[in-house]
Amino acid sequence: MKNCLIGFILISLVSVIIGCKSDSPSIIGIDKSFDPTGALSGGDTTIFDASSHAFSIPAPNLSAVALEKHLDGDVEFEAVFVTAPAEVNPGLGPIYNNISCVNCHSRDGRGRPPGVNEKFVSMLFRLSLPSPESEAAGKSPIPVPGYGTQLNNRAIYGTPAEGTVKIEYTEQALTAEDGTRIHLRYPNYTITDTYKPLPDVVEVSPRVAPVVFGLGLLEAIPEETILTFADESDVDGDGISGKPNYVWDVVEKRYTLGRFGLKANQPNLLQQVASAYHDDMGLTTSLFLLENSFGQPQHTKNSTTPEISDEILDVVTFYVQTLSVPARRNVDDPQVMHGEQLFAQAQCANCHIPTLRTGILPGVPSVSNQTIHPYTDMLLHDMGPDLADNRPDFHASGSEWRTPPLWGIGLVQTVNGHTNFLHDGRARNLMEAILWHGGEAEKSREITLQMSKTERDALIAFLESL
């Protein structure tokens, strides 16, 4: 300790790096990116909280002014919208999916599919017509006449909603090499109660709301870094390709790298948030001035000014850029460490990349230049026919999804009270989520099935430590 203190003084005096930090990582916080155990999932934005609030805490390294902006965004994220005219938060709908951001991203965490006889709360369905061109054309999905690109299952009083969806599951068992039986539930979706007939050939993509913390860090990853992971023709022969999506940026009016949404279908958080207001809540912004109901019988009139001001759009974007990432737990536990090795051996880390370095996100210094552990490559992967939604989205094919970050995944149970994973929440626990992996991740699935029970338990213990 004494040596380190001397080292600290020396560092301050002559800026020489001295190797005394390795045995006492918490020392006076000289080098905050110093993270020997990999527990600081969000770099300097990491918080040590494993409670049900773990996803909802502002990044601890925000300045006082930035914290105030974050808290303004927090209020707007929770704001409940109502039918116009009204004093507070008018403009909802006329057709929508939910009345606030937080209703879907509950506690800034994950949504889930509804249980039997439950209504849809935190899940939605995207729609489109099949494209006559090949998916390689990289175009935006084609709206369904009378429905647009999303099924709006709710509407304001006196207006017909577009319809709803019936989910039925059938179970199928599979057997691991050691004889363990694992049941997977296969979902089947039927659109019902439509206000007008749907064409027979509609493409339907079920999606549950993902977590919204740590996103500024993901936005700050340099594009070059993400592109170095791409291996579209699998030159290195590991069976994994990984491809970037390129999507329409409505502000820059050009195609740019897609990062957000389950198929990397949004270029940045500003546009993602504006799309959420537009598609999910029926609220216009300067990015999307026409109501989501435009051209449909539900449409009445467009308000002359955007229903959501640029100020609100800005603070809500900042809010999702600056939520902290919970630190890992139990990193020294032997079972967890064993699981971490298995995670690499099973090729999981080839897509769920453990460590990345962020660049500079203009206006958001707290997420800039951070070493982070998100467990994603931000790229699209073919996950096989069982996970396919068969609805292309720009360059994402009907069977491709963006590798979701795994940070915080072990806290979903604590925060959201469930363990439903994958794009439509079909997996009821982490092991089921792994065993749905196919396509480029087929080998990972096979290796997992060949593991002993002790090894599978260790792999899960590792995921639960994230």
Using CB under 5 A as the binding rule, whether residue 439 contacts Ca ion is answered as no
Per-residue x/- mask for Ca ion, residues 88 to 107, rule CB under 5 A?
---x----------------
Per-residue b or e along 293-311, where b marks 16 or more CB atoms closer than 10 Å to that residue's CB: beebebbeeeeeebbbeee
Of residues 406-445, those binding ligand HEC (CB under 6 A): 406, 409, 421-423, 430, 433-434, 437, 440-441, 444
Q: How many CB atoms lie within 10 A of CB 63?
A: 10
* 432: nearest Cα among 442, 443, 445, 441: 445
Question: CB of 293: closest distance to Ca ion in angstroms?
Answer: 7
Using CB under 5 A as the binding rule, whether residue 152 contacts Ca ion is answered as yes
User: What sign results for the dihedral spanned by CA atoms 47, 49, 54, 58?
Assistant: negative
Helices 334-345 and 453-464 sit at what angle, rounded to 10 degrees?
Answer: 100
* 413: nearest Cα among 426, 428, 423: 428
Using CB under 6 A as the binding rule, whether residue 184 contacts ligand HEC is answered as no
Q: Which stretch binds Ca ion (CB under 5 A): 31-39, 211-219, 236-244, 448-456?
A: 236-244
In 3-state terms, what secondary structure has residue 313? helix
Using CB under 6 A as the binding rule, whether residue 270 contacts ligand HEC is answered as no
Question: CB of 252: closest distance to ligand HEC in angstroms?
Answer: 19
DSSP 66-134: HHHHHHHHHHHHHPPP-PSS-SSS----SEES-SSHHHHSGGGS------TTPPPSSEEEEEEBPPSS-
Question: CB of 115: closest distance to ligand HEC in angstroms?
Answer: 17
Using CB under 6 A as the binding rule, whether residue 448 contacts ligand HEC is answered as yes
Q: How many CB atoms lie within 10 A of CB 371?
A: 17
Using CB under 5 A as the binding rule, whether residue 306 contacts Ca ion is answered as no
Question: Residues in the site for Ca ion, rule: CB under 5 A?
Answer: 91, 147-148, 150, 152, 231, 234, 236, 238, 240, 282
Question: Residues in the site for ligand HEC, rule: CB under 6 A?
Answer: 77, 97-98, 101, 103-105, 122, 124, 207-210, 212, 215, 240, 260-262, 265, 269, 272-273, 276-277, 280-281, 316, 320, 343, 346-348, 350-352, 381, 383, 387, 401, 403-404, 406, 409, 421-423, 430, 433-434, 437, 440-441, 444, 448, 463
